[in-house]
Structure 1
Amino acid sequence: MTALAHDRYCDEIAHQVEQLRAVVTSGADLSGTVPTCPDWSLEQLVRHTGGAFRWVELLVRTRAEEDIPEDRVPLIGGPEAKGDAAALDAWLAETGGMLVDALREAGPDAKVWSWAGICTAGFWARRMTHEITVHRADATLAAGLPYDVAPEVAADAIDEWLEIVEFVQRTEPDDPAGELRGPGRSIHLHATGGTAELSAERRGTGVPPAEGWEWVIELHEGGMRWRRGHEKATVVLRGPLTAVLLAFYRRLPLDSGEVEVLGERELLEFWLERATFG
């Protein structure tokens, strides 16, 4: 599947950082638990996201040929002061700028170590785009704020997630994703539009729906396979694109009312329990 252009990822990272900073400075309780990542507070979530950016920035800037331990990454944990929204915001702003600058300077084809065997700066531009795309959803939902994302970014995030599950199945035989096998079972993701809000109360006005996006995931004995398309399947997850994205990333409950499940719900639940990352 063709990914987005490198500059598009860089632009999106910069945009997402601005959006996440708006959550940090919104007055939201930084100590509050993030429902979709219950082991973290909102502040810990932001520090995790910024820390990942700091690590990748160092990888890309130094053209690393191997992994860099976290203890060698300056300020990976964020500002010393805890509960200080202004300090956290300043650190996040600096961090995002550093990463975008490093990625733009490197270009998509620069050789950089990665855990996925795709050793380019372009891999990291895409990975960090979707790292913050999903974690910003965690943050905004925790803060009780509306969330949306550009349709092409949401669709590419689903593509990347499916590629990660494929990779884990190939390289980590003991991972729960390895159980996603077996003939005759399939999942159809049917996203009905690109401007998907999470509830009727949050809907904007005057925004026409974008074209739909659809995926077919087949579970075979040798591993899962996927493609874009519209076909009959064992189970269908249907709804606005943003809602489908968040449900597929386990950020939105299947019974939220924002998505519809048709067919064998148990298969979709089986997938969601086993398609994990990190």
Structure 2
Amino acid sequence: MSPDRYLAELAGFLDSLTSLARQPDDVLSRSVPACPGWTLDQLFGHLGSIERWAAAVVRGGNYVEEPAPPAAGAAAWFIEGTAPFLEAMASVEPGAACWNFGPPPRTAGFWLRRQAHEHAIHLIDASQASGVAAPVPGAEFMLDGVDEVLAMFTPRQLRLKRMQPPEQAVAFHVSGFDVPGFEAPGAASWTVGSGPAAASVTAPLTDMYLGLWGRSNIKDTAIIDGDAALALRVLRGPLTP
């Protein structure tokens, strides 16, 4: 996806999140189903922290510490930060050298992708906590998100020893989409681990995107072939932080 596309998606998610952040206190005090221990207000505090952190990184190009959210009133704090955050993202030169936690080359464009998916997933969380229908991103965006998890986050989890390396490889297949630019419309594949795949996990795109982030129970909807125990161990990961 292009930098402009990431920015447009991010701007749309921010608009929706800002509307949800303006809800009454009794709604903001609700629990977030996918984030145990967090209220909706605390979810907005997390987003406000992430946004200020990412904006500072792309402005300076170097690592900075993430600021802590306020103990109360985090939704209002989030709203205050959305405009400068989006301004910082809009000013990104995608090819410019910039610290990030992805694989080399480390450029500022990483943050456009990462923040678009960060906000997409947390918009789903905020919608669920608010009792409103959670939006479903477009197919190309979700496919990009699956790739971010399996090609960027999961190798990082393995590298940092946050996840036990699988003894054999597991293939992940997405079916049921048609996105221009892929060699075989209707299917896309990734592999976790080395060597020939001893198991495979196949799921529709929406189930795969949400399931890899723990927002749906992928093992209940996926088709698992081969060594099922191995596939389930890899799914437990954790594939993401």
TM-score by length of 2: 0.81
1:118 offset after TM fit, Å? 4.3
Classify the secondary structure of the residue corresponding to 1:235. Answer: strand
In structure 2, what is the Cα distance between the partners aligned to 1:244 and 1:5?
A: 22
Question: Are 1:150 and 2:112 matched, yes or no?
Answer: no
Asked if the contact 1:180/1:274 (under 8 Å) is kept, the reply is no
In structure 2, what is the Cα distance between the partners aligned to 1:104 and 1:13?
A: 10
The letter for the 2-side match of 1:122 is: G
The structure 2 residue matched to 1:161, chosen from 110, 128, 149, is 149
In structure 1, what is the Cα distance between the partners aligned to 2:176 and 2:99?
A: 37
The structure 2 residue matched to 1:252, chosen from 212, 216, 229, is 216
The structure 1 residue matched to 2:56, chosen from 52, 55, 58, is 58
1:26 offset after TM fit, Å? 5.3
String of CA shifts for 1:132-187, please: whole Å, max 9, x gaps. 111212222222322211211111111111122123323x2x322xx23323x423
1:81 offset after TM fit, Å? 5.0
Q: Which residue of 2 aligns with 1:212?
A: 186
Q: Percent identity?
A: 27
Q: Which residue of 2 aligns with 1:127?
A: 114
Asked if the contact 1:32/1:42 (under 8 Å) is kept, the reply is yes
TM-aligned CA distance change 1:98 to 1:265, over 3 Å? farther
Question: Are 1:95 and 2:93 matched, yes or no?
Answer: no
Matches of residues 93-242 of structure 1 in structure 2 within 5 Å?
93-116=79-102, 117-147=104-134, 148-162=136-150, 163-170=152-159, 172=160, 174-176=161-163, 179-183=164-168, 185-193=169-177, 212-220=186-194, 234-239=199-204, 241-242=205-206
In structure 2, what is the Cα distance between the partners aligned to 1:161 and 1:255?
A: 17
1:129 offset after TM fit, Å? 1.0
Asked if the contact 2:202/2:224 (under 8 Å) is kept, the reply is yes
Classify the secondary structure of the residue corresponding to 2:28. Answer: coil
Classify the secondary structure of the residue corresponding to 2:193. Answer: strand
1:60 offset after TM fit, Å? 1.3
Asked if the contact 1:140/1:146 (under 8 Å) is kept, the reply is yes
Asked if the contact 2:224/2:231 (under 8 Å) is kept, the reply is no
Matches of residues 34-73 of structure 1 in structure 2 within 5 Å?
34-61=32-59, 63-65=60-62, 67-71=63-67
Q: Which residue of 2 aligns with 1:205?
A: none
In structure 2, what is the Cα distance between the partners aligned to 1:248 and 1:81?
A: 31
Which consecutive unaligned segments of at least 5 residues does structure 1 have?
195-210, 226-231
The letter for the 1-side match of 2:10 is: I
What is the RMSD of the two structures over their aligned residues, measured on CA atoms? 2.8
In structure 1, what is the Cα distance between the partners aligned to 2:46 and 2:175?
A: 30
In structure 1, what is the Cα distance between the partners aligned to 2:186 and 2:22?
A: 34
Asked if the contact 1:17/1:92 (under 8 Å) is kept, the reply is no
Which consecutive unaligned segments of at least 5 residues does structure 2 have?
179-184
Asked if the contact 1:103/1:121 (under 8 Å) is kept, the reply is no
Q: What is the aligned residue count?
A: 230
Q: Which residue of 2 aligns with 1:8?
A: 5
String of CA shifts for 1:26-85, please: whole Å, max 9, x gaps. 567211221211021111112101210111111112x233x21235xxxx525x753xxx
TM-aligned CA distance change 1:29 to 1:261, over 3 Å? farther
Higher helix share: 2
In structure 1, what is the Cα distance between the partners aligned to 2:89 and 2:240?
A: 24
In structure 2, what is the Cα distance between the partners aligned to 1:29 and 1:93?
A: 16
Asked if the contact 1:18/1:93 (under 8 Å) is kept, the reply is no
